[in-house]
Structure 1
Amino acid sequence: MDLFRKKSISAMMQQAQTGTALKRTLGTWDLTLLGLGAIIGTGIFVLTGTGAVTAGPGIMISFLISGLACALTALCYAEFATLVPVSGSVYTFAYATLGELIAWIIGWDLILEYLLAVSLVSAGWSGYLQSLLQGLGISLPTALTAAHGAVPGVETWFNLPAFAVVIVITFFVARGVKESARVNNIMVLIKTAVVILFVIVGIGYVKPDNWHNFMPFGLEGVFSAAAITFTAFLGFDAVVAAAEETKNPAKDLPRGIMYSLFICILLYIVVSAIMTGIVPFAEFEGVAHPVSLALQYAGQDWVAGFIDLGAIVGMLTVMLVMLFGQTRIAFAMSRDGLLPSVFSKVHPKFQTPYRATWIIGSVAALLGGIVPLDRLAEMINIGTLTAFVLISLGVIVLRKTQPELPRKFRTPAVPFVPLMSMAVCIFLMTNLSASTWYAFLIWLTIGLSIYFLYSRKRSHLNG
């Protein structure tokens, strides 16, 4: 049964105080903005249009469903994050409650989620940047504008802007969490202001008649859109990855998680309501910039330009936070012996896992530069939903097996809330395509092979 051996919470806390510990510098404000930095980005600037095509104005309900699913899971996250305030997010929590094999599987899933998220967003960011530059009369060589085969009928070879932006972000993350947080905070304030500007300007152009056919594809369309728009809320779990770098985890982590999540739920619903109120939902088909399209439709081109700029800034913060979360998970897995020790080397000055940051950042940059990843986008969702199911299950298991542990934040109504979280996440997973499930199983098979051939023997629990 060594496949399900567990790492004790006391051992985790002791390890977090050793020479491989990270520096605690983040407060509630930093964590809230870290969450907003990850959540407000591709979702609000791209997925609002994709969801509207699938659900019509009912996209508002879709965002509410996917947001509440995240909120249920966030309550479970908050209990674990305050109980085990060390780096590694759900991987660390699974190690304490469900055992090493399950922890490895979820850590492997999170690698897929965060790595692909950085690469995918970098490609989207590149498109917005090129659109802005073209408006200024500046064009890049066609061969360097996209990955090979990404644009039908156009000879492209490498997405230079996507590659370059990830390298720059990697530099900031490697320098230190406080430096990354400062950059993130500034960009979050800018893009939040841009979204509020859209609401203020756009609300005057809403035509209620566009909402009359509220759910043109019925509940099936609403649920399908909820499975797609779930990606929009990814990022609040990256706040938990910063547990070991939080000043007061018991107070700051639950607040940072819930504040960022509920602010974003409100913004998504309001923005999608205004968008579908201005533009008939069918006209968002194939549109990659739905928010600015709504303003163009209203004749407010000057505001649309600000929205495009906000999208560029917004995607920068998503990449920063996702890369931050990925490196901390790899750091935790390496510190446990499941990944090579290079991933847990801490810089003597910056106190960050700098080698892991540069390795992962370079891979993400190359993927964004050479691989068209649009067909893999749903895999980000399936990996995350799997993680959410396991963290909800972990709360129930730990309440039963170790009820005496001092919990500074307690998930309310256990086991009802965790079971509801699991049920909603599993339901959303069933709405993903069969090809996504096949690709996920292939990724899982690769991960299990690595575990049995390498990680199981080198685990520090192997003794």
Structure 2
Amino acid sequence: MREETAATGGLLFGTGPNGIFRRTVPKPEEHGERRMLRVLGLPQLTMIGVGAIIGAGIFSLAGAVARDVAGPAVLVSFLIAGAASLCAAFAYAEFAGMVPRAGSSYTYAAAVLGEVVGWVIGWDLLLEYTAIVATVSIGMSGYAGFLLESVGIHLPVWMLGAPGTGEGHRVDLIAMLICLGVAWLLNRGTKTSARVDVVLTVVKIAVVLLVVVVGLSKVDPGNLTPFAPFGWGGAVTGAATVFFAVFGYDALSTAAEESVEARKLLPKAMMLSLAISMVLYVGACIVLTGMVRYDQVDPSSGFSSAFATVGMSGVGVVIAVGAVLGIVTVSFSFMMGASRLWYALSRDGLMPKWFGELHPVRRVPHRATWILGIVSAALAGLLPVQEAAELTNIGVLFAFVLVCSAVVVLRYRKPDLPRGFRCPGMPVVPVLGVLFSAWLMSFLAAGTWLRFAGWLVVGLLVYALYSYRNTRRVMPGGSVDLASLDDPVR
């Protein structure tokens, strides 16, 4: 059923067939090679979420933020970021319980705010997810270098970091190889790669617990003073930088069409993964800045270097091994999210179908995955970690603003729609999500805003020259009847 009227049907800015604000919800592919396999249950979904959340944000970026931006108040940075993320997580969970389709916030926004808004978010997140893969691979590279040096292997200086990150650095070759390796793993198939992801995530959680349990006995309260040497503004700026470390559930929601019961399981997995991760983050931040003074933290291998400083180099090596293995799961989750998002955009006609084609045997978007692996490898090899992180954060915060706004709009537009999960505290919680996200965006550098604006301009040109016409060929008609969202979907 379509909500079309003569008044809106032909308007460019309307919701009819020719309107850029028509609301679209694609039908799932039920047969043939265009359908992905439903193999993910609650444990796998939760582990994908935890795998996406816990990674370079704590193993590497926490050290850089503590040393240069927030000091011991990096703990507050994570708590602020976590509070903002929780508000958005409630909104994501409500949508995941109603619109269990691949595409995450792109799909949600297109269903409620209109096609062009969904496209802007989708285009934005393609860049941000790719930048996240690059960011965490850079973080993993630092621990890999620490590990190699501990066994007497010294790599040439030119391959140890991006230009400007150290004397003689030309490219971060280890980070590039990590990106390409993750692309290869994802192309083995969802079931196989998810099993590997679960194992590595369990290893990563064990390593973080080791850091917290053993490290608490080595905490010197004197190192925590002054707690906020850069002022509380530094803690907030730090929150804007580490934000990408607390929103892994966004990538998780892109796997909706590979979940056995997406409507029920996705909201649960989102809440569980965020809760587990925040508990581990708090403990790890206390240990990092309590063992070593904030201005002596090694930004590339913070925890391993900290344990080596207090005479526990053996533990430091174990942490480096766990960090290298564990951070793979973050790259895995976000590259998986980016490839499923690209699949959704291609399926809906907003991008050429060629990019979203599934492998005939493994049923994964193999072309998109390899392209993402190559692009993320280039970013990882040439960008410093903080620049890559800020590029990531502005796009995700922007998506959070739109998703939190959309959940309010839909709750009041269609209050009786069946929902597998209902965002609590409506409309206060999602409005807080909007305000938190906008506030954190204001602390990002002007250069980050310019790069973000440039990417969006390119995206709007692609929409005007290709996507607008092609998507009407693939999905003709005006806005969907939002009541159709209650159709039973597994």
**Alignment match of 1:378 (pick from 366, 382, 390):** 390
Residue 151 of structure 1 and its aligned partner are, at CA, apart by 4.9
Letter in structure 2 aligned against 1:389: V
Residue 15 of structure 1 and its aligned partner are, at CA, apart by 2.9
Distance 1:290 1:111 in 2: 29
Higher helix content, 1 or 2: 1
Letter in structure 1 aligned against 2:121: I
State which drifts further: 415-424 or 295-304.
Answer: 295-304
Residue 445 of structure 1 and its aligned partner are, at CA, apart by 1.0
Tell me, yes or no, if structure 1 residue 83 matches structure 2 residue 95.
Answer: no
Tell me, yes or no, if structure 1 residue 25 matches structure 2 residue 39.
Answer: yes
Residue 359 of structure 1 and its aligned partner are, at CA, apart by 2.4
The 5 A counterparts of 1:174-193 are: 174-193=187-206
The 5 A counterparts of 1:132-281 are: 132-147=147-162, 149-154=163-168, 156=170, 158-281=171-294
Match of 1:453 in 2: 465
Query: CA offsets, 1:369-408, max 9 Å, x none?
Result: 4565653430100000001111111101111222232111
Structure 1 pair 150/180, CA: closer, same or farther in 2 (3 Å)? farther
Letter in structure 2 aligned against 1:5: R
Residue 64 of structure 1 and its aligned partner are, at CA, apart by 1.1
- Asked whether the 8 Å contact 1:224–1:431 carries over to 2, the reply is yes
Structure 1 pair 160/206, CA: closer, same or farther in 2 (3 Å)? closer
Residue 200 of structure 1 and its aligned partner are, at CA, apart by 1.5
- Asked whether the 8 Å contact 1:388–1:425 carries over to 2, the reply is yes
Structure 1 pair 23/225, CA: closer, same or farther in 2 (3 Å)? same
Match of 2:16 in 1: none
Match of 1:424 in 2: 436
Distance 2:164 2:237 in 1: 26
Distance 1:263 1:144 in 2: 35
Distance 1:209 1:145 in 2: 34
Match of 2:24 in 1: 7
Letter in structure 1 aligned against 2:47: L
Match of 2:307 in 1: 295
Match of 2:487 in 1: none
Distance 2:466 2:329 in 1: 34
**Alignment match of 2:137 (pick from 122, 125, 138):** 122
- Asked whether the 8 Å contact 2:62–2:242 carries over to 1, the reply is yes
Distance 2:289 2:181 in 1: 36
Distance 2:238 2:166 in 1: 27
The 5 A counterparts of 1:346-425 are: 346-369=358-381, 374-425=386-437
Letter in structure 2 aligned against 1:408: G
Match of 2:54 in 1: 40
Distance 2:103 2:374 in 1: 21
Tell me, yes or no, if structure 1 residue 111 matches structure 2 residue 123.
Answer: no
Distance 2:102 2:205 in 1: 28
Distance 2:156 2:306 in 1: 30
Match of 1:331 in 2: 343
Query: CA offsets, 1:82-111, max 9 Å, x none?
Result: 101110010000110011111111011101
Per the normalisation by structure 2, the TM-score is 0.88
Letter in structure 2 aligned against 1:114: Y
Query: CA offsets, 1:127-154, max 9 Å, x none?
Result: 322332232233445554445x355542
- Matched position secondary structure for 1:175: coil
Letter in structure 2 aligned against 1:126: S
Structure 1 pair 76/16, CA: closer, same or farther in 2 (3 Å)? farther
Residue 186 of structure 1 and its aligned partner are, at CA, apart by 0.9
Match of 1:56 in 2: 71
Distance 1:339 1:421 in 2: 30
Distance 1:424 1:141 in 2: 43
Residue 32 of structure 1 and its aligned partner are, at CA, apart by 1.0
Distance 1:89 1:287 in 2: 32
Where structure 1 has 5 or more consecutive residues not aligned to the other structure, the ranges are none
State which drifts further: 348-357 or 410-419.
Answer: 348-357
- Matched position secondary structure for 2:20: helix
Letter in structure 1 aligned against 2:313: D
Distance 2:242 2:377 in 1: 25
Residue 358 of structure 1 and its aligned partner are, at CA, apart by 2.0
Distance 2:229 2:149 in 1: 37
Query: CA offsets, 1:140-193, max 9 Å, x none?
Result: 45554445x35554263x544333322222122122111111111111111111
Letter in structure 2 aligned against 1:4: F
Residue 347 of structure 1 and its aligned partner are, at CA, apart by 2.1
- Asked whether the 8 Å contact 1:42–1:314 carries over to 2, the reply is no
State which drifts further: 301-310 or 122-131.
Answer: 122-131
Residue 226 of structure 1 and its aligned partner are, at CA, apart by 1.2
Query: CA offsets, 1:113-134, max 9 Å, x none?
Result: 1111112322332332233223
Per the normalisation by structure 1, the TM-score is 0.93
Residue 452 of structure 1 and its aligned partner are, at CA, apart by 0.9
Query: CA offsets, 1:341-390, max 9 Å, x none?
Result: 01221222212112222222233234434565653430100000001111
State which drifts further: 134-143 or 165-174.
Answer: 134-143
State percent identity of aligned pairs: 42
Where structure 2 has 5 or more consecutive residues not aligned to the other structure, the ranges are 1-12, 14-18, 478-490
Structure 1 pair 367/225, CA: closer, same or farther in 2 (3 Å)? closer
Letter in structure 2 aligned against 1:351: R
User: How many pairs were matched up?
Assistant: 456
Distance 1:73 1:317 in 2: 22
Distance 1:73 1:338 in 2: 26
